[in-house]
Structure 1
Amino acid sequence: MSTTPLTWSDKLVLKQPQLDHTHEEFVALLNAYGAALASGADALPAFRELLAHTEAHFAMEEAWMAATGFAPVNCHSSQHAMVLNVMREVVRHATELNDREPMSIVLGELSQWFPAHAEMMDAALVYHMEQVGFDPASGQCRDGASAPAGGQHAGGCGSASCTPAPSA
């Protein structure tokens, strides 16, 4: 098993400093978790640290979605929920069932999932934030732009299944 399951690269940079920093932290924590697994040490503390970071990371993105008019139900949020559910289930298996096998499986899964999620879902969120003039530092839209009004929301991935039908 590789001790560096994912390498931070320019391909992962979305040119949104706060999100890029959070993503770089995620990659570093994922790599630390991988190193703990590879060394034979108890990797559960490293995994719990990764989980806590991922919860905060996704909460930040969810708050941005809410502030900028992303649809309340979308593919992006659904992926967040699914990943957190899997990660929490890995902790449950390790602690309640003394089953550590899912810990090694999830390393590879997260290493494969994250780049695609960042390049598609997070890039779409950054683009949307730019379109509505959203400043993550202040939590406000600038230059008079605002989130869609009247119940109109942006979808999470551009799929028709993510975007609710316009109300009549």
Structure 2
Amino acid sequence: MPHTESSALLKHDGLSLGYAPMDQLHEEFIGLVEALAQAPDHAVAAALDALALNAHEHFDAEDRWMNESAFPARACHIDEHAAVMGSIAGVRRRVSSGDFAAARRLADALVEWFPGHADYLDSALAHWMCKRRLGGTPVVVHRRMQAPVAVPSH
């Protein structure tokens, strides 16, 4: 049964960090987390495999940027990527035994984890990369994502 609860929380431009290569990776990652959360049982393994491949490429790119640019806070960031990959590997083993709920719990956990990771660790890296490449920090314009306020009629 598909799980549709929390992945929509990631669909807003507040996660744009102003470094286009990273923003592209994040958009792809978010889409795959959402696909995993909504996958019916027969498609969970394929959705999880796609997420695992994407996460590996995503984290490898960020790790490479940090190492090549001597990003000061890279050890903690790289360790967090490794921990997530370890969790994904563990869930892949459980899914191969038929535990599809484990994949949905992983999707929920990634929805909870990712905004904080992007806000604290990735935003610092995005600033670092923009400053090195462009000489300044990124400028990101976020739209207000609130629901319209009802105005009472008289």
Measured against aligned partners, the alpha-carbon deviations of 1:57-109 in whole angstroms (never above 9, x if no partner) come to 000000100111025862111110000000011101222x4433321211110
**2:33 paired with 1:34:** no
Separation in structure 2 between the aligned mates of residue 22 and residue 92 of structure 1, nearest angstrom: 25
The residue number in structure 2 matching 1:64 is 65
Structure 1 length-normalised TM? 0.71
Q: 1 CA distance for matches of 2:14 and 2:73?
A: 28
Report how many aligned residue pairs link the two structures: 132
**1:9-158 correspondence runs (5 A):** 9-36=12-39, 39-71=40-72, 74-95=75-96, 97-131=97-131, 133-134=132-133
Structure 1 pair 20–73 and aligned structure 2 pair: CA distance change class (3 A): closer
**SS, match of residue 42 in structure 2:** coil
Give the match's secondary structure for 2:103: helix
RMSD: 2.0
The one-letter code sitting in structure 1 at the alignment partner of 2:113 is W
Contact 1:5 1:30 in 2 (8 A): yes
Structure-2 change in CA distance of 1:62 and 1:76 (3 Å)? same
> Percent identity over the alignment?
28
With normalisation by structure 2, the TM-score equals: 0.77
Distance 2:78 2:118 in 1: 13
Amino acid at match of 2:7: P
Higher relative contact order (CA 8 A, sep 6+): 2
Partners of 1:24 and 1:116 in 2: CA distance: 15
- In the TM superposition, residue 4 of structure 1 has moved relative to its aligned partner by 5.9
Distance 2:67 2:20 in 1: 19
Aligned to 1:153: none
Structure-2 separation of matches of 1:122 and 1:8: 17
Aligned residue type for 1:13: S
Task: State the Cα deviation string for residues 94-134 of structure 1 (Å, max 9, x = none).
Answer: 22x44333212111100110111111100010112233x13
Q: Is the 8 A contact 2:63 2:74 kept in 1?
A: no
Structure 2 gap ranges (5+): 136-154
Runs of 4+ with >6 A deviation = none
State whether residues 7 and 37 of structure 2, in contact with CA within 8 Å, keep that contact through their aligned partners in structure 1.
yes
Q: Per the alignment, in what secondary structure is the counterpart of residue 90 of structure 2?
A: helix
